[in-house]
Structure 1
Amino acid sequence: MKSLRCGPEVRDRLLLPWLLLPALWAAGRGQLRYAVPEEAQHGTFVGRLAQDLGLELAELVPRLFRVASKERGELLEVNVQNGILFVNARVDREELCGRSAECSLHLEVIVDRPLRVFHVEVEVEDINDNPPVFPVAVKTLRFYESKLLGSRFPLEGASDADIGVNALLSYKLSPSEFFFLEIQTNDELSQSLFLVLGKSLDREESAEISLTLVATDGGKPELTGTVQIIIEVLDVNDNEPTFAQSVYKVQLLENVANGTLVIKLNASDEDEGSNGEVVYSFSGDMSSSILTKFKIDPTSGEVRTKGKLDYEESKSYDIQVIASDRGAPSMSGHCKISVKLVDINDNTPEISITSLSLPIREDAPVGTVIALVSVSDRDAGANGQVSCSLPPHLPFKLASTFRNYYSLVLDSALDREATAGYQVVVTARDGGSPPRGATASVWVEVADVNDNAPVFAQAEYTVSVRENNAPGAHICTVSARDADAQENARVSYALVERRVGERALSSLVSVHAQSGRVHALQPLDHEELALLQFQVSARDAGAPARGSNASLQLFVLDENDNAPALLGPAGGGARSHALARSAGAGHVLTKVRALDADSGYNAWLAYELQPAAAGARSPFRVGLYTGEVSTTRALDEADAPRQRLVVLVRDHGEPALTATATLLVSLVDGAPSPKLSARASAGRVGAEASPLDVNASLMVAICAVSGLLVLTLLLWGALRCCGAARSEGACAPGKPVLVCSSAVGSWSSCRQRRPGLCSADGPPKADLMAFSPSLPQGPDSAEERQPPSDSEYIRKEIRGANKNVGRKEGQRTTYRFSHMMSLSATSSFYTKETPACLHRLFR
């Protein structure tokens, strides 16, 4: 193919109109259209692309302004500095589109931040740069001299690679007295040429005739092509084979099998013998593409397919057939077979997914463009019309942008914690019958954002640790989980700082930032701090960070780390007492008082009398739980005048701790002193008693009965309100007291205890130390051998309290109960509600 060579002035005149063409927008499609003539030189201006798209020149480079094309992308280029689209390489329309009526370059103009895609179509305009070309430069024809006037001989026309007017050919035959040219128009682009005999031939007069056929196209300027026709006049032949039609039209499906009959030709010859035997053949000027697709039987004239036909490769074929007889010389006739192929749906749609914006954040707004999808189908008509779809129940949709171009956009909100990614399968289906489809998939990963706060495994942790722990001892481990990923799920722990009395919380406990292990920084003391409540916070590493808190209740369990402490004179050394020899059995000499700073069983004291010297039977005993020292029998002269009693006070801890009290008893002759015999005579009113003593006894009895009635009503009311105590603390304001049994079976406040911290914000708690107010006076008593039950303690202490109320008129004694965790560890009598109920009762 030869390109048109023009001078500079002609070329400038041709290019100037195209350079002045304005940019056109396709109506209703949002598509930018330009036109450029073919053969334009490098650098030829096409259009102000950025300006026509409404983009600022300053934002072209930051927004990654670029042009992409699937079709010969090197032909056009854009200057990102000024946004001008120009020709980058020589554009040959015939090479690019062949003889197609439309020839366009489809460009995708892409900018980021945000992602936008524009479609630009650049039409390549045809110029008359290809002259008409004949199949051969010299064509030789043989005519018998006996040819009749008006005989027609078909000629192969010229072809022009251009289109439109530039490919509209006209023919002119050089002047001749024997022949003239006849042109028969079949359709707009197809012409049949015939060389018509206008004068009888005479080989003896002219054996050879030379003619020139000139083909001229319709371009400006015109281009021409020539073929030299040499006619050899033969001396033999008076009849030639003839066809019924000069042109045969046939339609074939493109998927016909190899060897399918196209047409059966039948040419007739009026001669006889060998001059009338016809042989069929293809014209020697046939292209190789036709010879590889069709074949003809020389004898029968059947034309059949050879090889596979493809509508997408070529839509039609023109086959020139020659019918020759076997005369000498041979005569021939000609016809043309016009084969039109019918398209079938034999091509699968093709899908291309480009410009992926992945991964996509889970907080991306609806409508965010994720990817660009383009589809194509080589078939024609409905067979090439493609539609795309997505599977249901996906948070995405396809939005059509231009013809076979789609955008994959977000259709609903994402949640990475529910679904971390989606396998998006795009299905393309054409309109054929049956339809053909194709799929393409893309993995859409959802990027995490910090939208979840850490969540503790428990909202509240309840743990215990024994007092006197080693510094740095592990208490427990808290754990929080964050549903986010990576940094957003990396959890760190910290204490929620507060004051605990005079100290900061961080001086008592600590939490490891990564593992959540809670440690005690120093030894804890149950007597000082029985319950510690605090909060641990968990925060992730996101931006902004999210966090949550968990409450932790730390119970400090009591250890038996305090020995009993003696009260009164016995606590400082030996204590002397005088006792009359006339004292009878059960006479109370004194009472040993002791206090243990621990709680529960560790503070439950028992009293023992150390055995006397070998062989001696002591006339004294001590109450196992009361500490009352009394006689076991009547004294006699055999008893030593000076008795040394050692009382051992033992708690119930593991191991038990003890203390001893030494009593020096002197036996004297005479009646017992009123003070020492008060216990023995208490409660007995003889005939010799004064009226004042009788009245006092009556008042005590009346007050005791009244107090018992009131106390019974209060207990009944307390049990009724125990249900409400579930949501209340077991602490009450005020100074706690230790309740001990007195020598006469009443409750009394022995000494004040240090306040214990029971909760983070509530009032302090106190200890309830319950002891039996009265026990049998024999060493073999079952109550002294076995510890009384907790329920027996409460009943006996209430009876003792009633007696004490009878003695102390108008005086109110306050009892407070605390350290229920220690008490409940040793007794099943208490419930969680009991401390709160009794606390409200006795306050």
Structure 2
Amino acid sequence: MKNLPIWLTVLLELSLLWPCALCMNFIKSVTLQYSSPNHTRVKRGWQWEPLYVLEEQPITQPIYIGQLKSDSDKEDGSVRYILSGEGAGTIFIMDGHTGRIFVLKKLDREEKPFYTLRAQAINSLTGVHVETESEFVIKILDINDNEPTFINGPYIAEVPEMSPIGTSVIQVTAVDRDDPTNGNHARLVYSIIQGQPQFSIEIKSGIIRVASQIDRETKDQYHIIVLVQDMIGNLGALSATASVTINVSDINDNAPKFQLKTYDMSIIESASIGEIVGVVLADDVDTGKNAEIVYSIEDRGDFDVFSISTDNITQEGIITLKKVVDFEKRNRRYHIQVRAENKYRSDLYDLTTIRVTVVDVDEPPVFLKKEYYMDVLENATVGSHVGSVTAKDPDSASSIIRYGIVQNKYSRFFDICKNGSIMTSQPLDTETHPWHNITITATEAQNPALVSEVQVYIQVIDVNDHPPELQNEYNIYVCEKTKAGQQVQTISAMDKDPVFNHRFYFMLHPEEASNENFTLIDNSDNTATILALRNGYSLSENPVFYLSIIISDNGVPSLSSTSTLTLQVCDCGMNNNVESCINRGFLWNFFNSGAFIAISVFTTLLLALAVIVHIKCKKSPIHFSEKGEDLKENIVKYDDEGGGEEDTEAYDITGLRHQTVMRENKRKRNIRTDIQSMYRLSLGLGPDVAIFKEFLSEKLEEANADPCGFAPDSLHTYSYEGTGSISGSLSSLETSSWEMNVY
């Protein structure tokens, strides 16, 4: 029933071609065939034999490989065959009348092992399918045309030496492209053609195994050649070979070996500790870590004189000197036994004996000490003995030793004598140089090239020559609200003398015995505390207090010093915190006190008074000077007895006048015409004494009554010697003269 739609389509197409009656009869018969449930269909089908093609077969013309045929084919030409599918028409062709199939080309099974094709059988006249389309396969038969091939080559393997027989080393694998189901074309067998008897191989699996004992020290690498064949090695088999490199790895199975059983070495007696004596080497035929060696000296013989260490790079044993050797004092040959042991197996070792000979040399002098420590007082006089150094010639023939000092900045303070005694050459001061480091040399007199040196450390012992003093310059503040017994300040001292355990003592100066304000308490720890003795202090009444203290030390002899501390009274605010005073300073306290207010008021009054005086001076006339007579900071003395007009030439008073002073108009006074001025008197006869006294009195009264006149720093001396001289001489030779000094 499934092919019914196909048949109906074919019949519909035929109806268009054939006469109508014939079409209808054919359709009716077909319809009855499929529709009648009681109709029995006659079995028909394809007939063909298996189809095979041998690969790699040369073809010059089509080769018959088989035939497809319907059992309904009467071989009368009524059935036509059609071939389709893989290779149809190009590789395979079919005879449409007979169904015979031919191959046209040479085939390769390894490229394509079979081909799938389809065949149809139709009526030659109607084109109707006689048989349903059928699918069939043409197989390509295999021939042994491919040789085996190794994969993952070349092969490299490793096996430890002394491995047990049968130990697996590596597996080699080969493949064959031929058909494994067709005979023995792809059945492989393995064999070794090079590498026996050390190794063997399993013929089917290709596993290589150890066949006999192998030793890396004998041979550390093997090259194996493996043969593989198909067809189980029968006639016509194909084969291939592969190379296998097998490296033999080392195991720690060999002990180190010394090259010699006895070694002879030598060392000079002047060699220092740590100097190399010699080198030994033990060989280990193993490799890598298995060949690492550790050297040691056996606990016998002179083992404590030498030491040995291992050089990890060269694997050598380095022997060094552990103790100083002396040709003159001890055995001149030493014997030690050295052990070379495998680092990871203590049972693998070797021993050797080393003989060390000490060689005598001419050695420089040797000081009895490696270094010297001395001390000297800083007040030691020049030439004082500090200490001595001693050096000896270590050789059997003792030589004379000469001493010297290596020049440096400290050597100028000291000299050294022939016997090694060190003396001072300059005054010392511990405060400047508390230590002097000098280098002393010892030289053999017979061989100046042999010189030894030693360090001498000289400490200058301090002598108490500096009195103690205050540690700091203290700014001490006392709050106004301080209570009696309250701590004001803690002070400490210092001393320039470099003494480690200084002890300072504090006390008040004897003049402070009656001090009712403050006292001093020694805390016995190089500090002292100032305590208040009364309640409350006043910044306005007494802003500053002074306290004298004495500080002494415990030196020998004991020294002391006196210091005066200044204690400033401060308004510490509501919290009575002295820190606020420290931050503000003394000027703040002064400006914040009553003293500042008093000074301010006084200054204001002075300024007001100065203004008043200035105003009054501007309003009052100046009565002190007359006719340009000025009083200057000079002493004018008239005592010349010269005569007449020559006096005016000798004393030119124009230089004493202030030419720039502007005189105010003065009220005219009634003055005697015979007494007008000093200038007039110098030109004529002088008045009598009474008149002159009256004139001076008036001038003095004017000066005292003038508030704007300043007291001049001049002294005018007027001497009158009476009458009788026409020139008015002012000579002081007469006893009847009088003087009046005006300041």
* Larger Rg computed on CA atoms: 2
TM value normalised by structure 1: 0.32
TM-score norm. by structure 2 comes to: 0.36
